[in-house]
């Protein structure tokens, strides 16, 4: 499923133009879901936190009992080589990925030493700064480590996210604000979540039910350096209904303002705007 028009694929040691077939029907990943990936971004000639994203896909592979075959440093070099064919003004979605090829005698457990690796680069525009999102509740919840690999960015987690999104869209909303197993807010179906109250910023505490994102961490650092208090806390749906501002944080769009949560409406406020401004300032400073 291509997201953009201009695609390059790294597979079997070299770059290829287009959306290249990389998996066989009998591969463990195709049959039994042992797939992991990560996402980074290239825009305005910079690749913010690329090393962290490459390191995380290796950590995700280990969580699914796969042995990473490419070091973080080599992966960064591969991505930078592939980006050389894109214009500096392009916005590119960077997706490194692993999958299991063979299984053990049971077939269920992947053979960690036989893994596939690829990188997909797709030209996908960044979302406009003022493009806001409307959220609703969902009956589906985030799993816990005891019943799913929530410590990985794994493909097998996403059917649950798809159920959340489908339910939200059936009600006329863009996305869902999702609870953890205890009923407290965890994240949305596609991104981490922040809220603002009385000039201070709050985000759900990382409790192992969701990935505390790389971009989330970057926003928290930037806000702290800017003098804004940031709290990781147990947050309820009522807290979000009482918020002054709400915004999502994810790799695809970096900052997405939230305009509504189930009838509670928000303006795109000064802190949301400042978070976006600080992220771009930091990202572009990395080019120097």
Instruction: Give which of 58, 44, 210, 189 is closest to 119, Cα–Cα.
Output: 58
CA distance linking residue 230 with residue 216, whole number of Å: 11
pLDDT for the residue 4: 65
pLDDT for the residue 287: 66
Q: In this structure, which topology does domain 7-123 adopt according to CATH?
A: D-amino Acid Aminotransferase; Chain A, domain 1 (3.30.470)
pLDDT for the residue 189: 97
pLDDT for the residue 252: 87
For each of the chain's 288 residues, which pLDDT tens digit applies? 566 679 999 999 999 999 999 999 999 999 999 999 999 999 999 999 999 999 999 999 999 999 999 999 999 999 999 999 999 999 999 999 999 999 998 999 999 899 999 999 999 999 888 899 999 999 999 999 999 999 999 999 999 999 999 999 999 999 999 999 999 999 999 999 999 999 999 999 999 999 999 999 999 999 999 999 999 999 999 999 999 999 999 988 999 999 999 999 999 999 999 999 999 999 999 764
Q: What residue spans define the domains of the chain?
A: 7-123, 133-285
Q: Do domains 7-123 and 133-285 have the same CATH topology?
A: no
Q: For residue 149, what are the contacts with CB-CB under 8 A and spacing of at least 6?
A: 63, 64, 156, 157
Cβ-contact 95, 120 below 8 angstroms: yes
pLDDT for the residue 95: 97
pLDDT for the residue 130: 84
How many C-beta neighbours within 10 Å does residue 49 have? 20
CATH number for region 133-285: 3.20.10.10
């Amino acid at each position: 499923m291509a997201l953009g028009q201009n695609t390059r694929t790294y597979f079997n040691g070299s770059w290829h133009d287009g959306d290249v077939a990389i998996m066989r029907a009998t591969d463990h990943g195709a049959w039994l879901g042992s797939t992991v990936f990560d996402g980074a971004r290239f825009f305005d000639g910079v690749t913010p936190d690329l090393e962290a994203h490459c390191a995380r896909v290796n950590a995700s592979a280990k969580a699914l009992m796969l042995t990473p075959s490419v070091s973080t440093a080599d992966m960064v070099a591969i991505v930078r080589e592939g980006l050389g064919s894109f214009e500096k003004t392009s916005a590119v979605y960077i997706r490194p990925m692993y999958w299991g090829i063979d299984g053990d005698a049971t077939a269920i457990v992947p053979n960690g030493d036989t893994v596939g690796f690829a990188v997909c680069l797709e030209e996908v525009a960044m979302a406009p700064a003022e493009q806001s999102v409307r959220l609703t509740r969902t009956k589906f919840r985030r799993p816990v480590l005891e019943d799913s690999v929530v410590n990985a960015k794994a493909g097998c987690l996403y059917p649950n996210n798809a159920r959340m999104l489908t339910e939200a869209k059936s009600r006329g909303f863009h996305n869902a604000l999702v609870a953890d197993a205890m009923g407290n807010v965890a994240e949305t179906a596609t991104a981490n979540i922040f809220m603002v109250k009385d000039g201070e910023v709050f985000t759900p505490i990382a409790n192992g039910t969701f990935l505390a994102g790389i971009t989330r961490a970057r926003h928290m650092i930037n806000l702290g350096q800017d003098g804004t208090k940031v709290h990781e806390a147990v947050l309820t749906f009522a807290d979000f209904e009482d918020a002054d501002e709400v915004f999502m944080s994810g790799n695809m769009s970096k900052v997405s303002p939230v305009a509504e949560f189930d009838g509670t409406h928000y303006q795109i406020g000064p802190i949301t705007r400042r978070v976006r401004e600080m992220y771009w300032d930091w990202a572009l400073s990395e080019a120097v």
